[in-house]
Amino acid sequence: MAQEDRLLASVVVATVLVPCILHGHGRGVVSLVTDGPSAANGALTLIGDGAQHWTWVHVDDLARLYLPAVGHPESLGRLIGSDGNPTSVRAIAESVARPAESVAGPAESVDAARARSGPRSPTPTSSTSERGAKARSLGWVPQHTSVLEEVQTARPAAAQFRSDRRPSRRRPRARRPGSASPDQRFA
């Protein structure tokens, strides 16, 4: 942050893009919630109490923000990329819970959440509410305005992709007596 401040205070024409929490294509910090640990009874363990709201931006929308930022003739300062739709951690967890599951699991401690999320992730129990008004003033309009849509569509597709790529557990078919093995057919 100090380096950004020095850059922005200099004579250099500079813009610092500041993305909110990234998501997209079934990846990103959203997996801390959707793929998080579960309690013994199957309840999804929330990060904090789940009431905190995080502001998101889809990776494709962020990529589209670079063009007006780089092409702008003046320094823009910090330019926040945000879908403008803060979403609660509980709402994200509830959107992936199957009917038989619960999201009222025990809250994960802040230390455990930080250890699992890593140093570049949001502070697990804080809320963010950036709207990205300056970015929108450049004509940038995010096309993905709901992390919940991403969770409900891309996450199941990613899970299906992963399951399709798992090695088959089927036993090999027995050959009929006298039939050639695949290796013998082309010898």
80: CATH: 3.40.50.720
Say whether 145 sits in a helix, a strand or coil: coil
Closest CA to 89 of 42, 148, 10, 150: 148
Q: Is the pLDDT of residue 138 over 90?
A: yes
Token reading at 175: 């050959």
Q: What are phi and psi of 181, to 5 degrees?
A: -75, 160
Q: Determine the average pLDDT of the residues in 17-42.
A: 80
Share of the chain above pLDDT 90, in %: 20
Q: Which structural domain range is residue 148 located in?
A: 2-153
Question: Does residue 136 lie within any of the structural domains?
Answer: yes
Q: Which of 76-85, 127-136, 150-159, 167-176 has the lowest mean pLDDT?
A: 167-176
Question: Does residue 86 lie within any of the structural domains?
Answer: yes
What are the CA-CA distances from residue 49 to residues 18, 32, 91, 127, 181 (Å)?
26, 14, 11, 12, 59
Q: Which of 82-96, 133-147, 154-168 has the lowest mean pLDDT?
A: 154-168
CA distance 124 to 87: 14
Banded model confidence at residue 185, pLDDT cuts 50, 70, 90: very low
Q: Is the pLDDT of residue 158 over 70?
A: no
CA distance 29 to 160: 19
Question: Does residue 168 lie within any of the structural domains?
Answer: no
Q: How many structural domains comprise the chain?
A: 1
Question: Does residue 160 lie within any of the structural domains?
Answer: no
Q: Is the pLDDT of residue 141 over 80?
A: yes
Q: Determine the average pLDDT of the residues in 101-117.
A: 65
More confidently predicted of 79 and 107: 79
Say whether 69 sits in a helix, a strand or coil: helix
List pLDDT tens digits, range 5-27.
888 888 888 899 999 888 888 77
Helices (H), 10-146: 30-34, 59-71, 89-96, 110-117, 133-137
Q: Is the pLDDT of residue 182 over 70?
A: no
Question: Does residue 32 lie within any of the structural domains?
Answer: yes
CA distance 137 to 154: 29
Question: Does residue 169 lie within any of the structural domains?
Answer: no
More confidently predicted of 151 and 104: 151
